[in-house]
Structure 1
Amino acid sequence: MARRPDPASRAQTGREARKRVPPAAHAAYEPAAGREDPVGVLTAEEGDRLPELLPIRHGRMMASPLAFYRGTALLMARDLATAPSTELDTHLCGDAHIFNFGLYASPERRLVFDLNDFDETHPGPFEWDVKRLATSLALAGRENGFKRRDRAAIVASSVRAYREAMTRFAAMRTLDLWYARADLDELREQLGDKLTRTRQERLARVGAKARTRTSLQAYRKLTAEVDGRRRIVADPPLLVPVEDLVPDVTRKQLEAQIIDLMAGYRDSLADDRRRLFDAFQFVDMARKVVGVGSVGTRCWIVLLTGRDPDDPLLLQVKEAGPSVLRGLVPRPGGTEIDNEGRRVVAGQRIMQAASDIFLGWHRVEGFDGKTRDFYVRQLRDWKGGATVQEMDAGALTAYGSLCAWTLARAHACGGDRIAIAAYLGSRDRFDKALAEFAESYADQVEADHAAFTAAVRDGRLEAVTDV
């Protein structure tokens, strides 16, 4: 076990980074000279996606600059790679916008709030994630019609929450940090006197709704009895049973391939989870379109049952490609990535306070003959999220601060919390700088969105809306 520097040395590392790149340096955003056409960058990224689903992706991204932002982590990563860097690396989410936080059940059956998307996870400078979160708040404020000063206050408050949380995490014992989490019930108690009655009621409704989103609820919604057997019901193009996609393959051949996939995934689980997984058997599988940025990647849902047909488990099997940060971060963190699914799972386990008990990965030979990496998790396990478009400025401030606290905890577990806290300091210079950055980068997002929608109008891209 390598000996780590003492806290004083780690704090000195943060202070040296602060001298090299002062917090105020993060306020500036200027597009790099010769910045590539955003439409061309996005089109190149889509090269390995399913072409029949790309019009859905484009239609969803056209909806607003904020929706476009959800599908363009690559564009921002390329822009951040040209900016001054603290070189204080941690394990990044890689796409830490406000829609990638939410509620889910911990293994102890507690409702927790945390990051919930790790497709782009990768080591890198801590500020990249904070800037991505800050810009998403600025864009949400614009979409909700807030004035600039209100948007700046929302962003600054959230970044302050990140900075102050990191200071507290830096002083914590290591195990206390590891066990820290945003438990919804505890959060309601802590914030009770700070929330209006309306917001308390809204938080309670969000929690109650999340608890109804289970495998059993999804089973009843997505399946039906067909010829005496339970099957996933087609709802094209968003949900398509696998036999409808590969009609030349017999069901027997197909099920054999799927069972092999599940067996390989099983090997990535811990021993106790393997035993639990063995209590279920395969029933059916379908392709499912999810999200905004993920549309076009290969994503499946797998139906299994346990004791009887009324004992279902629905797993999501999602393709994992290289992170958009790969090749852009000058210091890869010394981690050799041998499987993209494993990369996603490792990042999730490092950054989340509690992870899905069925989280695992596998590499498969696809129906198209290509080798692809996947990760697996439950489709629904008390999952829920906030409706950002319905928030007033006060609610978005509170939500942004909760996201920022959560992100700080993840970064504290994935990097050097003492060095990061020392860099951020006790004053609000970093908060103000990111409020300015978020506004200027939101301008860039709006310009890129305009170019994207123009490409659709000109016929260079195909888009389908309302799907």
Structure 2
Amino acid sequence: MNPIIEAIRKRDSGRDPERLTMRYAKMKESPFVFLRGACHLFYDALPDAPVLDRAPLAWCCGDLHFENFGSYKADNRLVYFDINDFDESALAPCTWDIVRLLTSIRCGAETLRATEAETRAVASDCLHSYRAALLRGKPLWVEGETSSGLIHDLFVALAERKRENFLDRRTILDDGQRRIKIDGIKALAVAASERDKVTAFMKRWAAEQPKPGFFKVLDVARRIAGTGSLGVTRYVILVDGKGSPDENYLLDLKATHPSSLLPRLRQIDVIQPVWQDEARRIATIQNRLQAVDHAFLQPVTYDGQPCILRDLQPSEDRVAIGDWGKKLDRLRDVVYAMGNVLAWDQLRASGRGGAASADQLSDFAQGERWMSELLETVDAMTKTTHEQWETFRQSAL
């Protein structure tokens, strides 16, 4: 068996077959979607290079690509724009996240409806904004009032969204009671035994919360979301919230696994902290990086498995980066913001748990040679990702 196919099969062992079939179908669509679903292959193929192996350490997302940025409601119920997926997060050289982000831009030409020249140009813009933010050395965040372009559109859409409208898209209202819409796109049905198990778990967990009634379970379904995580244990849970039917809430319960970065990190002797479990790793790093904590973000243990429980993150809360309308300045505006956000997050978590200080990150950014070396690495990883995708596309998976 081809080593790429074998590595994917091994990684996906034990996943839900129904959603795994969806995962493989998505990964065959394009090099970008393949990149999203094969994080472990990306780091396995990462070349030995000083710009990667000797850069200062930072707390990293690990699976950074242009669709892993979006808006979220924080625990203060205000809206923020940030990186929003930390399943693969780890302590790693600060350049690993920017290399993966730029490779996603280069591999995403089809999704972006952009030429190769355009993706090269905007990738360079993203890198320059990342460097400039590190040089400034002060972590900031994107404000809705001062945002522009596609990101501003996202803030406006969220400000105008009403909870009942969101619920109407994801649930069915029957005689004043909502239940999750089983559409094969966002959700799949669960067996009665699964529903009972999730309901019993939530009841136990809610009993320890200040407002247990908020988390009274009304319905449960298997959640369909993402690419890399499709097939892992994951549920969407409808809870009473502030009252039925229009103040119900949807929660996301997702199993966790070790970061895909670990084998490559061991090769360069980057030692990770000892975490109580993978869920606490993800929640801790996410809280360190994001400007304000995500609503309901909790590490929990479900059915003996560490999981993340949080407010459901709708897919429409991510930047529709393919909608730049062939106006290069509009696309540049988005990737410029992404470069800033990445640098701000790394600065925000600097000096903690083995990460380099803000001064060390800024000192690293002073030179310019590392930027050309990094872009050469992006060229190599773009080519490698295309080759891996072609192998996978022609496979029987």
Q: TM-score, normalised by structure 1?
A: 0.75
Q: Secondary structure at the match of 1:284?
A: strand
- State whether residues 213 and 382 of structure 1, in contact with CA within 8 Å, keep that contact through their aligned partners in structure 2: no
Structure 1 equivalent of residue 8 of structure 2: 42
1:61 Cα deviation after fit: 1.0
1:382 Cα deviation after fit: 10
Which residue of 235, 251, 254 corresponds with 2:183? Answer: 235
- Aligned in 2, Cα 1:261/1:281: closer, same or farther, shift over 3 Å? closer
Structure 2 equivalent of residue 79 of structure 1: 45
Structure 2 equivalent of residue 363 of structure 1: 301
- Aligned in 2, Cα 1:221/1:263: closer, same or farther, shift over 3 Å? same
> Is residue 2:218 matched to residue 1:294?
no
Which residue of 141, 163, 169 corresponds with 1:181? Answer: 141
Structure 1 equivalent of residue 21 of structure 2: 55
Tell me the amino acid that sits aligned with residue 222 of structure 2. Answer: R
Q: What pairs with 1:14-25 in structure 2 (closer than 5 Å)?
A: none
Q: What pairs with 1:108-257 in structure 2 (closer than 5 Å)?
A: 108-141=76-109, 144=112, 146-169=114-137, 172=138, 177=139, 180-188=140-148, 199=149, 203-212=151-160, 215-226=163-174, 229-236=177-184, 238-242=186-190, 245-246=191-192, 249=193, 254-255=195-196, 257=198
1:433 Cα deviation after fit: 2.7
Structure 2 equivalent of residue 270 of structure 1: none
Give, in whole Å, the separation in 2 of the partners of 1:278 and 1:228: 18
- State whether residues 138 and 155 of structure 1, in contact with CA within 8 Å, keep that contact through their aligned partners in structure 2: yes
Q: Deviations over 1:145-165 (max 9, x none)?
A: 644443332222111111110
* Structure with greater Cα Rg: 1
Q: Deviations over 1:339-395 (max 9, x none)?
A: 211111111101111122311021122xxxxx3221011114796222222333332
- Aligned in 2, Cα 1:327/1:203: closer, same or farther, shift over 3 Å? closer
Tell me the amino acid that sits aligned with residue 308 of structure 2. Answer: Y
Tell me the amino acid that sits aligned with residue 258 of structure 1. Answer: T
Count of paired positions: 383
- Aligned in 2, Cα 1:204/1:334: closer, same or farther, shift over 3 Å? closer
- State whether residues 215 and 381 of structure 1, in contact with CA within 8 Å, keep that contact through their aligned partners in structure 2: no
> Is residue 2:384 matched to residue 1:448?
no
Give the unaligned 5+ runs of structure 1: 1-35, 189-198, 268-273, 366-370, 462-467
- Aligned in 2, Cα 1:418/1:315: closer, same or farther, shift over 3 Å? same
Give, in whole Å, the separation in 1 of the partners of 2:201 and 2:28: 39
Q: Deviations over 1:142-198 (max 9, x none)?
A: 6546444433322221111111101112xx4xxxx4xx211121334xxxxxxxxxx
1:326 Cα deviation after fit: 2.3
Structure 1 equivalent of residue 362 of structure 2: 421
Structure 1 equivalent of residue 352 of structure 2: none
Structure 2 equivalent of residue 196 of structure 1: none
Give, in whole Å, the separation in 2 of the partners of 1:278 and 1:78: 46
Which residue of 320, 338, 341 corresponds with 2:276? Answer: 338
Which residue of 363, 379, 385 corresponds with 2:318? Answer: 385
Give, in whole Å, the separation in 2 of the partners of 1:137 and 1:237: 26
1:107 Cα deviation after fit: 3.7
- Aligned in 2, Cα 1:129/1:358: closer, same or farther, shift over 3 Å? same
Identity %: 22
Give, in whole Å, the separation in 2 of the partners of 1:382 and 1:364: 24
Tell me the amino acid that sits aligned with residue 429 of structure 1. Answer: R
- State whether residues 68 and 449 of structure 1, in contact with CA within 8 Å, keep that contact through their aligned partners in structure 2: yes
Of structures 1 and 2, the one scoring higher in RCO (CA 8 A, sep 6+) is 1
Q: TM-score, normalised by structure 2?
A: 0.87
Give, in whole Å, the separation in 2 of the partners of 1:116 and 1:82: 28
Structure 2 equivalent of residue 191 of structure 1: none
> Is residue 2:341 matched to residue 1:406?
yes
> Is residue 2:265 matched to residue 1:329?
yes
Structural RMSD (CA) = 2.6
Structure 2 equivalent of residue 15 of structure 1: none
Structure 2 equivalent of residue 281 of structure 1: 216
> Is residue 2:254 matched to residue 1:318?
yes
